[in-house]
Chains A and B, each alone.
Chain A
Amino acid sequence: NAGVTQTPKFRILKIGQSMTLQCTQDMNHNYMYWYRQDPGMGLKLIYYSVGAGITDKGEVPNGYNVSRSTTEDFPLRLELAAPSQTSVYFCASSYSGTANEKLFFGSGTQLSVL
């Protein structure tokens, strides 16, 4: 049972570099989400998707881009990495996105921008 898989687990970037955080789920979930977790700040929603080809901004989208070409994959792209993007990133998914439905989380990507 793979669930939600994120790669890489750790990454160090230099300022101005770009990278893509990968997220894939094998549960045929329609909704997928990207959160960032900063110490003492809880989780903040970056982007979410309600299905292939449809994405929307969350609370903190600046500096990030997403795409959803398939149901399974929801990559998050950082174009010009900045120190403020140092964080732990979590991908999550749910089947229908309803308010009472639980989220399934990946194990996270720890990103440092130096």
Chain B
Amino acid sequence: AQSVTQLGSHVSVSEGALVLLRCNYSSSVPPYLFWYVQYPNQGLQLLLKYTSAATLVKGINGFEAEFKKSETSFHLTKPSAHMSDAAEYFCAVSESFGQFYFGTGTSLTVIP
């Protein structure tokens, strides 16, 4: 089975600073990779996904992620954090029908 590791369960950044959320996966075959965001009291929403078309994937709200096969990583970044980015972020991988594996999540706090 796949496993997804998100380093850092809590990340704090100042408003305007770089956001870097880490995600590593275990797979010998490049899977499909996703980042979802969960705002308080809401369900998860897709931020971006990697499907092998390009290694640098751009998502909504200025986020992007880079797929690095050699490092089995799919880290999420945003050049300048905004207060509205405060949320829980989940990395997920999928290899086959109906099989999604989620990381444990990273809670992002943005300090004004």
Q: Which residues of B contact A31 (CB under 8 A)?
A: 98
Given A48-B98, A99-B94, A99-B99, CB of A40 within 8 Å of CB of B43: no
**Shortest beta-carbon distance from B105 to chain A in Å:** 6
Stretch of A14-22, A62-70, A74-82, A100-108 that contacts chain B: A100-108
In the bound complex, do residue B43 and residue A90 qualify as a contact, i.e. CB atoms below 8 Å apart? yes
Q: Which residues on A sit within 8 Å (CB–CB) of B97?
A: 50, 97-99
Residue B104 contacts which of A41, A98, A102 (CB distance < 8 angstroms)?
Answer: A41
Q: Which of B42, B90, B96 contacts A42 (CB 8 A)?
A: B90
Q: Are A100 and B94 in contact (CB under 8 A)?
A: yes
Q: List the B side residues contacting A100 at CB < 8 Å.
A: 32, 49, 51, 94
Using C-beta atoms within 8 Å of the partner chain, give the interface range for chain B.
Answer: 20 to 34
Given known contacts A107-B41, A107-B43, A108-B43, A33 and B98 CB-to-CB distance under 8 angstroms: yes
Contact B100 A103 (CB under 8 A): yes
A: interface residue count bin: 20 to 34
B91, chain A: closest CB distance, angstroms: 9
Instruction: Kindly report which residue of chain A lies nearest to residue B91, judged by CB atoms.
Output: A42
Q: Given A42-B103, A100-B49, A100-B51, answer yes or no on A106-B43 (Cβ-Cβ < 8 Å).
A: yes
On chain B, the residues within 8 Å of A108 by CB distance are 41-43
11 chain-A/chain-B pairs, Cβ below 8 angstroms: A33-B98, A35-B102, A42-B4, A50-B97, A90-B43, A90-B44, A92-B43, A97-B98, A99-B97, A103-B36, A103-B46
